[in-house]
Amino acid sequence: MFPRLARMPIASRLVRYLTGVVSAVLLLATAPGAVAAQPAAPAATTWQPPLSTRGRYIVDADGSRFRLMSANWDGAQGSWTGSGSSTDPANQHAGQNSYGIPLGLDRAPLARLLDDFHALGINSVRLPFSNEMIHATSPVPDAAVAANPQLRGRTPLQVYDAVVAALTGSGFAVILNNHTNTSRWCCGIDGNERWNSSQSAAQWADDWVFMARRYAADPRVVGADLYNEVRRDVFDDPNWGLGDGHDWYAAARLAADRILTEADPNLLIVVEGINWTGLPVDGLPHGRPMLTPVRTLSHTLVANHKLVYSAHFYGYTGPNHSGATGIGETHDARYQDLTRDQLFQALTDEAFFVEQESGEHFTAPVWISEFGIGAGETGTAARTWFGNVTDYFADHDADFAYWPLVGWEGHDDWALLRYDTDGHRYGILDGGDWRGTAWNHLMTAPTHRGPVAPVPVWRMLDTDHGDHVQSLRVRAGGDWDTGAYKAACPDGLRLAGLGHTSGRGLCTDVTTGDLRAEGNAQAVVTDERYVPAGGDWASGYTKLQCPSGQYLIGYSHRGSRLSAALCVPARTPLAGAGRTVWFDRSDNRPAGAGGGDFAYGDYKGQCADDEYAAGIAYTTRVGSPRGPAALLCRHLS
């Protein structure tokens, strides 16, 4: 988001936009600034890493709430522009250099910057980087670290290392954020629209494994924000679940699982929604999906308690307004032009439903990892929006991150803290900033503190475009049904529901917690050998029933035909009466069942909370759907 470009005259914006379409690499917008505020209480440093999730909350290792009260320390994604004049080559936009480092290191010592961060009251920092920064080998210019001479001669990544160590050593939690592919400002049509716009998807995932491993020994590096503001490029929209090279849902899941299995199992995984689709030009469609696709297709990772969803909100963007150019987008499509009630509804519909609707397959914490406004903003609509949006965040006890944390006096009035060339500080800690009242409300409003009770986990499985085997214990046993599309619940969860033709499944730990016995024993069931004599619970249908003492955690199919059931031994004896749950002609789920609609548009069946699934039945009749038609559900005791 580039707030300055969003306020340019329409004619100027049009010239810039059309030039970008021709070149396909024009930078259309600058990184958004952030709001400022009055001093707040220093962040507590007594929390215990690692962080994980319980329902809508992030918790620390003791199970106590850890609210992300964050700000963005930008620059390492490629926006350090030096201390000289605007005509100095060292002061050009980072699109012309590759030495992006966190801002302010040329103006204030690290120790002083950290003291100022504490004075703001934040407890965590979102720290952007670019993939280009990772691979840069040239030292940063001495001018870039003038106030921190100990950093002279270091590469951008080595400077980033020093900043991470300083932040975590001072008690802050750090969330790594892959902001751009190339070292430049973002976020328009600039070659950084997608994780794979300027590099391969494989290289992007490899870079994430590299970064996660690099800081794995630092427990206060707590999260991986996979990619910033996924959006439209010149030719194509990103999508959520189509299975192609623009599928952000699939790419995020792949990278997340690689990070958790190959680099650092303790990291939170932050998945942002789709920021905007459609070219923002007259006559062409445009939308801002944000997190709305999560309702029907949510992420299930190999770790049950590591997923955090994220969204960004700025007043000059909106449900039908990207904020990149404003061309072809009516002003009444912006958040700042909505009434307070309309804004609150938009925030709920586009993001906060994810955490407000408990017990769903998509329920997770939501982190608003960017929002902001300028100290010099005089527009009534924009100022009113800022007050309203911070009211919403405060009233809903939201996790948030302000953009940006550090800027320069006379250059970026969005920053919380600004420093001149002599290191003098200006901003919300120094009085006279209209944003201070709203910031203080956000920082001091009542919040949930202390222990968070564990809640049941619900996760969906999908085999839309391939396997979805999320159990590490199953993966360790190799390919259990070669050539079939396979799905298996993450470790600690059991299969509770299935869709009739969609290949979707539902996993949970409700009532029992982890039901599985020690070891990696499993049974792949492809016939009726475990159906006892006189135990025909689905007459006329083929029944794949688990051996005695085992329960379902997975399934496989070949095309529309069910192929196998995957069963594992329970840690306690399994007994109790059973019942057949049919779902080939309508939904059949218990009243008030958890998990929600895990197979949207499909018939589905689900066992009750106090039951486990012990078998799947399907038909082999020609012309009939050959997906699951019934579940054998048995009482847990």
* 291 token code pair: 């997190």
How many CB atoms sit inside 10 A of residue 464's CB?
16
Task: Please return the burial class of 445, using the count of CB atoms within 10 Å of its CB with bins 0-12, 13-18 and 19+.
Answer: middle
- What's the pLDDT tens digit per position in 161-207? 999 999 999 999 999 999 998 876 677 677 888 999 989 999 999 99
CA 554, distance to chain mean position in Å, is 26
Side chain identity at residue 147, one-letter code: A
At 30 the pLDDT is: 27
Give all strands of the β-sheet with 425-427 in edge-to-edge order.
Answer: 406-408, 417-419, 425-427
* 530 token code pair: 């475990």
Task: Please return the burial class of 128, using the count of CB atoms within 10 Å of its CB with bins 0-12, 13-18 and 19+.
Answer: buried
* 397 token code pair: 């006890």
At 284 the pLDDT is: 73
- Tell me which residue has tokens 């030096």: 82
The answer to whether the Cα torsion of 410, 416, 420, 424 is positive or negative is positive
CA 125, distance to chain mean position in Å, is 16
Which has the closest alpha carbon to 277: 238, 221, 328? Answer: 238
> pLDDT averaged over consecutive 10-residue blocks of the chain (637 residues)?
35 33 30 33 71 98 98 86 34 43 96 98 97 94 95 97 98 97 75 90 97 98 97 92 97 98 98 92 81 98 98 94 78 90 98 98 98 96 98 98 90 90 93 95 96 98 97 96 97 98 97 96 97 95 97 96 97 90 97 96 97 96 82 94
Q: For the whole model, what pTM was predicted?
A: 0.91
Which has the closest alpha carbon to 125: 49, 176, 70? Answer: 70
Using a CB cutoff of 8 Å and minimum separation of 24, what contacts does 415-422 make?
415/33, 415/34, 415/36, 416/34, 416/35, 416/36, 416/37, 416/71, 416/120, 417/36, 417/104, 417/113, 417/116, 417/117, 417/120, 419/104, 419/107, 419/108, 420/107, 421/83, 421/107
Q: Which residues of 402-439 are buried (b: 16+ CB within 10 A; e: fewer)?
A: bbbbbbbbeebbbbbbbbeeeeebbbbbeeebbbbebb
3-state secondary structure of 161: helix
CB 496 within 8 A of CB 620: no
CB 612 within 8 A of CB 632: no
At 338 the pLDDT is: 95
What are the structural domains, with CATH classification, of the chain?
Answer: 3-444 (3.20.20.80), 458-635 (no CATH)
Helix ranges, 7-109 (H): 10-23
Angle, CA of 287, 291 and 292, to the nearest 5°: 70
Measured CA to CA, the distance from residue 301 to residue 435 in angstroms comes to: 39
At 328 the pLDDT is: 74
At 630 the pLDDT is: 98
